[in-house]
A and B are shown apart, each in its own frame.
Chain A
Amino acid sequence: MDTSFASDVAIVTPWYPSRHRPFLGAFVEATVQATAPRQGSMLVYHCDEWAGPYPAADDAAMTRAHHALLPRTLRPRPVAGGAALLHVPVLLPLGLSYAEIADRHAETLRAALSGGTLDAPVVHAHVGLPGGWAALRNARPGARVFVTEHATFLDAVLAQPEARRRYDELLHRCAGFFAVGRAVRDPLVEAFPHHAERISIMPNPVSFRTERATPVTELRRWLFVGGLIPRKGVRRLLEAFALCHREDPTLTLTMVGEGALLRPLQARSAELGLADAVRFTGAVAPEEALRLMREHDLLVHPSQFETFGMTVVEAVAAGMPVLVTRCHGPEETLAGIEAATAEFVAVEDDPSSLAEGFRRLRARFRDGLALAEARRSLEGRYGYDAVAAAHHRAWYPEAGTTAPVQEGTAQPVP
């Protein structure tokens, strides 16, 4: 099979929504959807991590066989925005360091390319280690490599000396490096002050193309979208909902996502007598999550840490207010429109403070929020046109500003 896949832009990413993990990397898919239509061609290399507790001997045999098999299995399939995607599984036995994981990605991508290089003048990778590293090691001579960092686990990566060394090299050699927000940029600048001027901010794009059929008239139908894991504050959410449900039994909560806490949450929901009020949908595709947003009244996002907090912006795009923690990303994305659409609460375990936040937001909603105004404001910052134009300017600086740029739109700024 021919493994020469020429394209104008190659995207290298460990995260992209798939059948197995429909949530993972929805923001990468959104970026592809936003930016691909401006390019002649875009090819996404989804370096999908297949991790497992395999013994070293099995791992060696599996990796050998995998590298031999991989080039023959690659068949591009159409994805968002008219781009094409190649699925490149990366085998990861448990216990590898971040540097080893990055090397695995680079080696697997090279095997997929039959030892060749990424046939594109522009390569944009997501996640510094492993995506950026794999892109850098496989880009063709003269290609410009860009990287967007989204990772919430950056501190763990930078705590490992070998991973930190690779990150330093990545920052040194790439043509452009973007963080999705200050929560990502600040620790990178602190770790690599000599690269401070190279690290810009490039937000994730969010689709504002579909409006909800009817505006929110009351805050009754709560929605959570995200992983059912401790970092997302889902236990606190359920307890806070129980407190509010006691005061207003018409309230409902839909929890969209899956994770280790699914069963404990289901059990707790039954224990609280909320089986009829709380619905667990499991993982759904990103477009289905957006549809659900347009059918609910309020997004509750009690996360402990977010680098960007895409669902919060998506909720505003879906015309709903948000009850959200000060978990870094959302303070930045909602800056200037907090009063119009959001109620912030502290990151803590106490459900009563979250419940109190709901009561405040509900009272403010009755007095009137400015949801449409907030939506327009965020579209200018994070809409597909704005973020795609910013990417285009970064990828082709010599072309000047060829795309329409609105006031206050996303820009890769130092």
Chain B
Amino acid sequence: MTGRNVLFLALGGDRQRVVIQDAARVVAEGGRAVVVIDDVSVWPTPRRFSSRVRVLELAALQEAAMPAKVARKVLYRLPRRLFGLAGRLPLLSWSARVGTAYEKRVAQVIDERLFTPTYRWLRGDNRHRLVRRLVLRKTAFDVVVVCDPPSIPLAARLAERRSVAERITYDLAGHRPLDDEPAAAPHR
């Protein structure tokens, strides 16, 4: 698997030892390894990933999605700028305290109770779009490895694109570059 770019889908975190070892091997052989995980807390030893392996937490990807960016701008950045401007005016030195209170009692409440649930409800399961946009578009992967059951629905959605479908495997050891012969023919 010399120099291959490999995307590991490891949302369940079920086979951590093997994922960590395989990713390390990919980068050691001159390739690029990206591991998509769901929740970093189920990986008790995230630092054991080789420093050259890129680990992406889906939650972080969702944060990077456009609606979340817009919400952050509307709820936090614009008001912060307004309070900042107000703070420069005479008699409005209390604006910093008001700004902090606004973020805590208004912006955060709207974000957590209204925006995030509504966004989740409207978007449905958009993880495949995020991975496509934020991972697959930036790197051409030779192999996409499905590492555990929770990653399968995501892999199936990604496989709707033919270019990804023919690169998906459950078994990195059995996968060879697409222009090669099959790893082994059943006839010897």
Residues in B whose Cβ lies below 8 Å from that of A84? 183-186
Q: Which residues of A contact B18 (CB under 8 A)?
A: 19-20
Across the interface, do A61 and B153 meet the contact criterion of CB distance under 8 Å? yes
Query: How near does chain A come to B38, taking the closest CB pair, in angstroms?
Result: 12
Q: What 1/0 mask marks residues of chain A from 79 to 116 whose CB sits below 8 Å from any chain B CB?
A: 10010111101010000000000000000000000000
Give which listed residue, B157, B168, B183, B186, contacts A7 with CB less than 8 A.
B186
User: Quick check: B165 and A72 within 8 Å, CB to CB?
Assistant: yes
Chain B residues lying within 8 Å of A89, measured Cβ to Cβ, are 149, 170
In the assembled complex, B182 has its CB within 8 A of some CB on chain A: yes
For the complex, is B72 an interface residue (Cβ under 8 Å from A)?
no
B152 and A65 within 8 A (CB): yes
Chain B residues, CB < 8 A from A142? none
Kindly state whether residue B188 has any CB partner on chain A within 8 Å. Answer: yes
A78 close to B (CB within 8 Å): yes
Most buried by A among B12, B149, B156, B185: B149
Q: Is the CB of A75 within 8 A of B174?
A: yes
Whether the Cβ atoms of A65 and B155 lie closer than 8 Å is yes
Cβ contact within 8 Å between B150 and A54: yes
B149 touches A7 (CB 8 A): no
B176 within 8 A of A: yes
Output the residue of A19, A43, A61, A89 with the most chain B CB within 10 A.
A19
Which bracket fits the contact residues of A? 35 or more
Give the CA-CA distance A269 to B107 in the complex, in Å. 55
The answer to whether the Cβ of A271 comes within 8 Å of any Cβ in the partner chain is no
Residues of chain A with a CB closer than 8 A to B187's CB: 6-7, 40-41
- Determine how close the nearest CB of chain A comes to the CB of B176; give it in whole angstroms: 7
Closest to A84 in B: B184
**Are A72 and B159 in contact, CB atoms less than 8 angstroms apart?**
yes
Tell me whether B149 and A62 are in contact (CB under 8 A). yes
Q: Is the CB of B186 within 8 A of A69?
A: no
How many Å lie between the Cα of A68 and that of B165 in the bound state?
11
User: Which residues 155-199 of A sit at the B interface, judged by CB distance below 8 A?
Assistant: none
**Given A41-B187, A76-B185, A78-B184: A62 and B168 within 8 A (CB)?**
no
CB distance from B101 to the nearest CB of A (A): 40
Q: Assess whether B108 is interfacial by the CB under 8 Å rule.
A: no
Q: Cα distance A41–B185 when bound, in Å?
A: 9
Q: Does B179 contact A (CB under 8 A)?
A: no
A393 beta carbon closer than 8 Å to chain B: no
The residue that A69 contacts in the complex, of B152, B176, B182, B183, with Cβ under 8 A, is B152
A contact residues around B57 at 8 Å (CB):
none
Cα separation A78 to B188 with both chains bound (whole Å): 10
| Min distance, Cβ A381 to any Cβ of chain B, angstroms | 28
A335 an interface residue at 8 Å Cβ cutoff? no
| Residue in B146, B155, B174, B185 whose CB lies within 8 Å of A85 | B174
Give bound CA distance, A217 to B183, whole Å.
45
A58 within 8 A of B: yes
Query: Least Cβ distance of A7 to chain B in Å?
Result: 4
Instruction: Indicate if B169 sits at the interface (CB-CB under 8 A).
Output: yes
Cβ-defined partner of A52 (8 Å) among B12, B168, B174, B185: B12
Is B15 at the interface (CB under 8 A from chain A)?
yes
Q: Are the CB atoms of A73 and B153 closer together than 8 Å?
A: no
A5 contacts the other chain (Cβ, under 8 Å)? Answer: yes
- In the complex the two chains form, is A73's CB within 8 Å of B169's CB? yes
Rounded to whole Å, the gap between the CB of B141 and the closest CB of chain A is 15
- Among A50, A58, A76, A91, the residue within 8 A (CB) of B184 is A76
Q: Least Cβ distance of A80 to chain B in Å?
A: 12
B148 lies within 8 A of chain A by Cβ: yes
In the complex, the chain B residue whose C-beta lies closest to that of A89 is B170
* Chain B residues within 8 Å of A399, by CB: none
Residues of B within 8 A of A73 (CB): 146, 168-171
Q: Which residues of chain A are near B146, meaning CB under 8 Å?
A: 69, 73
A56 at the B interface (CB under 8 A): no
Partner of B14, one of A6, A52, A75, A79: A52
Would B148 and A52 count as touching, CB distance under 8 A? yes
For residue A359, CB closer than 8 A to chain B, the reply is no
Q: Are A41 and B149 in contact (CB-based, < 8 A)? A: no
Partner among B22, B153, B169, B183 whose Cβ is within 8 Å of the Cβ of A76 = B183
B184 near A5 (CB under 8 angstroms)? no
Closest chain B residue to A50, Cβ basis: B149
Task: Determine whether B163 belongs to the interface, using a CB cutoff of 8 Å to chain A.
Answer: no
B170 engages A54 (CB within 8 Å): no
Flag B139-183 by CB within 8 Å of A: 1 or 0 each.
000000010111011011101000001101111011110000011
- The smallest beta-carbon distance between A14 and chain B, in angstroms, is 15
* B184/A66 in contact, CB under 8 A: no
User: Please, which residues of chain A bring their CB within 8 A of the CB of B169?
Assistant: 73, 75
Nearest A-chain residue to B144, judged by Cβ: A73
Interface residues of B (CB under 8 A from A): 12, 14-15, 17-18, 21-22, 146, 148-150, 152-153, 155-157, 159, 165-166, 168-171, 173-176, 182-188
- 13 inter-chain pairs at a CB distance below 8 angstroms, sorted by A residue, are A19-B18, A40-B188, A41-B187, A50-B14, A50-B149, A52-B148, A62-B150, A62-B153, A68-B156, A73-B171, A75-B169, A76-B174, A76-B182
9 interchain residue pairs of minimum CB distance: A65-B156, A77-B174, A87-B171, A78-B184, A84-B184, A77-B183, A43-B186, A7-B186, A65-B153
